[in-house]
Structure 1
């Protein structure tokens, strides 16, 4: 089946339930991130992406903070490797460009570094542990 990769930009108030469902499944249940670390004050001020499958079901999410930090990127396990993460990243990079931002920043789980490198992100600094998971800082300079 062909995936259309519909990605919509949404705000927290309008889509909190779908955003929370995906992040709870991926981060809290699957990756064992403590609940206290998953939810923060940045959700309400961020722009969120929701990726939908061909049936209109939300299968992925990511957020963009006003300062250009990208985070909370998650795709439900059964939908990984089908282009939903890439579709969200393209949308985020387009949004950064439309805001005339100089760069995008993120803390990548080390297992996801190659994914972000495909878009031109570069790792810098030392590896660190966040929520019990190894991460590295990455940045992307917009042209």
Structure 2
């Protein structure tokens, strides 16, 4: 397996295909909600590949000058529970720190709270519905 970071069209297509499988087909989120105005040609993604199959992805998105907002984070169903998501999020956080970000804020599905809490994220909001799924905002102070 290898990980690539960038915004090349082929790379974005792989991220989009995985997001389609996980968020649209598996979770029932509408195409219109999943693929939003933030999916621009310049938007960077981390994607973990096994050969040419995208198995995990996360969108690298700036919230403000101090804050990175990891988004559209998913792992292909048959690859879950192997540490890929954890390693991918830590890789994103490492890049964010190198890029000068001090905080990471994300929208977490309620079913994933323990995953994020194990990585030192804490709940930062009341529950809310996002695309029909119960979520909370979570925050982490990044430190090297």
Against the structure 1 CA distance between its residues 39 and 12, is the aligned structure 2 distance closer, same or farther, given a 3 Å change threshold? farther
After superposing the two structures, state which structure 1 stretch, 8-17 or 110-119, moved more: 8-17
- 2:25 is aligned, of 20, 23, 29, to 29
Give the superposition deviation at 1:102: 1.3
Q: Deviations over 1:3-23 (max 9, x none)?
A: x5x322121534122111100
TM-score, with structure 1 as normaliser: 0.90
The whole-number CA distance in structure 1 between the counterparts of 2:126 and 2:46 is: 29
1:74 corresponds to 2:74: yes
Q: Which moved more, 1:39-48 or 1:84-93?
A: 39-48
Range with bigger deviation, 77-86 or 37-46: 37-46
Q: Which runs of 5+ in 1 are unaligned?
A: none
Distance 1:12 1:30, change over 3 A: farther
Question: What number of residue pairs does the alignment pair up?
Answer: 138
Counterparts of 2:43 and 2:12 in 1: how far apart (Å)? 12
Q: List alignment gaps of at least 5 residues for structure 2.
A: none
Check if 1:15 corresponds to 2:11: yes
Q: Is the 8 A contact 2:12 2:45 kept in 1?
A: no
